[in-house]
Amino acid sequence: MALNLHSLRPAKGATHKRKRVGRGNASGHGSYATKGIKGQKSRSGVTNLKRLGLKKMLLSVPKTRGFKSLNPKNQAVNLSDLSRVFENGATVNSATLFAVGLIGNTKVQVKILGKGELKIKDLVFENVLMSESAANAIKANGGKIK
């Protein structure tokens, strides 16, 4: 026989007919519908969890509540850290902060916070967020924010 699209069939024994239970005695699965006589498992509405004894365990585990954002939080860098690491007139961006080890990832946004004193002058900031107090301290020391 030639192999054509209309002659394709599954391999012998690869498919099975679904067992239709509770469709009358003539079907062979009527009366008790393959569930046996009486007992909890013969009743309707008993879940597999209850049969396996997992329901008590599920109820004993607390639900996880709250909200977890998929967006990462900003990486925080303080002014005191900048004073410790950079020289006068240096450029501060995510690449330079990563190079000196103040942040762990260049793909996540960086925010400069105003904690501590800025003892360096003329810093140039590129593509970083900053708090209002940090921006005021940087401008007071002659820094530029791009």
Average pLDDT, the chain: 90
Amino acid at 58: L
Task: Tell me how far apart the alpha carbons of residues 30 and 35 are, in angstroms, rounded to a whole number.
Answer: 10
Cβ-Cβ contacts under 8 Å for 12 (sequence gap 6 or more)? none
Q: Where are the domains of the chain?
A: 75-145
pLDDT for residue 55: 78
**75-145: what CATH class?**
alpha beta
Task: Tell me how far apart the alpha carbons of residues 48 and 46 are, in angstroms, rounded to a whole number.
Answer: 7
pLDDT for residue 113: 94
Query: What average pLDDT does range 64-93 have in this prediction?
Result: 91
Percent of the chain with pLDDT over 70: 97
The rounded radius of gyration (Å) of the Cα atoms in the chain is: 35
| pLDDT bucket at 1, cuts 50 / 70 / 90 | low
Query: What average pLDDT does range 14-43 have in this prediction?
Result: 91
pLDDT for residue 51: 66
Tens-place pLDDT, residues 46-64: 777 776 778 788 888 888 8
Query: What average pLDDT does range 38-45 have in this prediction?
Result: 84
- Residue 143: closest CA among 76, 105, 100, 90: 90
Assess whether pLDDT exceeds 80 at residue 27: yes
Task: Tell me how far apart the alpha carbons of residues 60 and 12 are, in angstroms, rounded to a whole number.
Answer: 48
Q: What is the dihedral of CA 29, 33, 34, 39, to 10 degrees?
A: -160
Task: Tell me how far apart the alpha carbons of residues 45 and 116 are, in angstroms, rounded to a whole number.
Answer: 64
